[in-house]
């Protein structure tokens, strides 16, 4: 009977450790994805707030990402749509 209790304690400890490791890995991956989109990695904390987490999924999905804005700006400079702010030429 005591052996069975020890087995369940070990099983619980192993389960908690594996869950903690997987949680840290997934949070790290989410932070990396959010950073690549151009947002702060701290935005991953919105996932912990009920209702707000659902709203933020739609905000991230349908808002223009900061990285997209930067790419459009650079494309505009390369293709001549926008003036280069580093050049101080009067137009």
Q: Is 51 within the bounds of a domain?
A: yes
Q: Which domain holds residue 69?
A: 2-78
pTM: 0.62
Helix or strand or coil: residue 85? coil
Segment 79-88 mean pLDDT: 63
Give CA–CA dist 53/82, Å, rounded. Answer: 36
Give CA–CA dist 25/81, Å, rounded. Answer: 42
Read off the pLDDT band of 29 (50, 70, 90). Answer: very high
What's the DSSP call for residue 42? G
| Structural domain total, the chain | 1
Residues near 81 by Cβ (< 8 Å), separated by ≥ 6?
75
The label of the residue with tokens 């505009």 reads 76
For 34-80, the pLDDT digits (tens) are 898 888 989 899 888 999 989 988 988 898 888 888 888 888 877 77
Whether the pLDDT of residue 89 is over 60: the answer is no
Q: Is 44 within the bounds of a domain?
A: yes
């Amino acid at each position: 009977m005591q052996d069975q209790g020890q087995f369940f304690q070990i099983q619980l400890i192993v389960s908690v450790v594996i869950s903690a490791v997987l949680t840290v890995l997934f949070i790290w991956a989410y932070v990396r994805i959010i950073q690549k989109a151009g947002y702060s990695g701290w935005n991953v904390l919105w996932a912990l707030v009920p209702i707000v987490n659902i709203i933020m999924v739609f905000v991230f999905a349908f808002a223009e990402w900061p990285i997209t804005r930067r790419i459009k700006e650079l494309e505009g400079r390369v293709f001549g749509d926008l003036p280069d702010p580093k050049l101080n030429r009067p137009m």
